[in-house]
Structure 1
Amino acid sequence: MAWFALDDGFDTHPKVRKAGNAAVGLFVRLGVHATRHLTEGHLDGDIVRSYGTEPNVRKLVSVGMLHTSGHTCPRCEQPADGDYVIHDYLDYNKSRAQIEAAREAARKRQQKGRDTARSNRNRAGNGSDSGSIRSGNGSESERNRTRKDPLFDDAPAGHDDLSRRDTHEGATVVPSPPLPSHNYDGADAGGGSTGSSAAERDAFAPTPIEVDAFQLTDAMRRWCAATYPGLDVDHSTAQFVSHYRSTGTRRKSWPDAWQKWIRDDAQRAQQRRPFTQSNVIALPGQTQPLTGTDAKVAGWLAIRDQLRQQGDSA
């Protein structure tokens, strides 16, 4: 999927104000069309006229957002007779070669992921790696120990790959539109289903890992202290690790499992909390106070006797 870029000053640009909303809406549609078909800003005249009215097309040409054949702009190529070209398109958008190269790289990454998932399933079926996975000494466990959950990672967020803001060499850098979340079960807006096979879904699915990969971070301590003050986070975490280590259970996200454990632990502690003095009534002649239902019944009987005494004295 490619993107037609507009910078954050587009809405107040003098050309945009002069062209008006209707003509600008036509311009955006034409830009998306050119990006989808990788024309590098060149537009067929019939497409332009089918998208908008002649007055709006003339407005875009008059303000310099579109060029016709024979234009005098030194930075833009000449379109064919009857066609149009978007002004400075390649200053803000990637070229056809760049987009095709990025798509080919993405295709190779997806194929590598599918091959890796298929290989992992084959090894799991043969049982050749089951011992090393359970032992926690293999390279897979070492990688798992370095994983961090984004909810509790104290490190600043960032990206290792190039941003979508990168354009061709020497081009002006402009903000990119928000990126959609990946949907490996559906199709792209431009058509063509991607990631719909079970193998591709498996390639991007998180891998269950052992509890030895779990680490209690400072951010998780702060969350526990703010949410459940008074709870012994170290004791609860030790119980959590011991439980899952003894059972050999594996989870895809240990921080999520830890959060659930802490919530349950706090609830159990609340339920184990002893009755307060307001819920305890000591009857005459008793050394141990009554609790629970007995205390409630005794309290009602005491209130009844008090009311009777008040009635007799009246």
Structure 2
Amino acid sequence: MQLANGFYLNRKVRRLRRTMPSAVSAFVVMLSYCGDNLTDGFVDSDTAEFVLDITTQELDALQQVGLIEAVDGGYVIHDYLEHNRSRQQVMAKRKREHDRYSAGSLPAEIAQTAGRIETESGQTPEHQNTRTQKKEKEEYSSSFSKEIGLNDFELVREKTHANAAIIRDYPNLDLSDAWNAFLSRHYGENRTIADWTRLWKGWCQRRAKMSGIPPSKRHVHTWKCSHVLEALGRDEETAQADEKACELADRLNKEKS
């Protein structure tokens, strides 16, 4: 279940607080039930009345303001999947985490055994660490070019770096709402990490602009800023202060001034 930070400012909620305050708590209980049972926003009539103890008057009030909609057999929370993950998304993520955890124990045991063998052969721990780091770097470089889904992109360090940059540039942007909308728009797609990073940053920049949220300060382009790197098809590891990158940064700064 996800309750937006601006929930208290919602006009429907504010209206209910004046006309029927108990309906607000009933709505929160419905959200909690849907999140706990992965119903994709659906609450059947019997559950609403006998499990959640929501009265007919409260249900009518929630329908009148448009927070829920009556459907066959029960009710659906309006726009639930725009702000919450679907059952399919949650189950898929759980399966990936389970598989990752289950598969992770075997390599650890193998690595420990291999470490004992290497040590017994006379190789120092420093050499072992160097080889391990090199292997991890090669594996990461290989995975960087592979196409992944949004749930996997959410776990990579590039997403964390992108979030930090977005928060720095647009501190007033609701990043959680932006991500939920981004999930709904691109759910089921597969792209490279670089493509997802570019799309996510662009999405937040457009969302901030449409919401009238100004950037915290004017961005000064440099040879290693994300805009230059993306335009040249580079990343942080391949960035270099060559003539091409410096000229592009200079041109971008002149275009904004």
Relative to total residues, which structure has the larger helix share, 1 or 2? 2
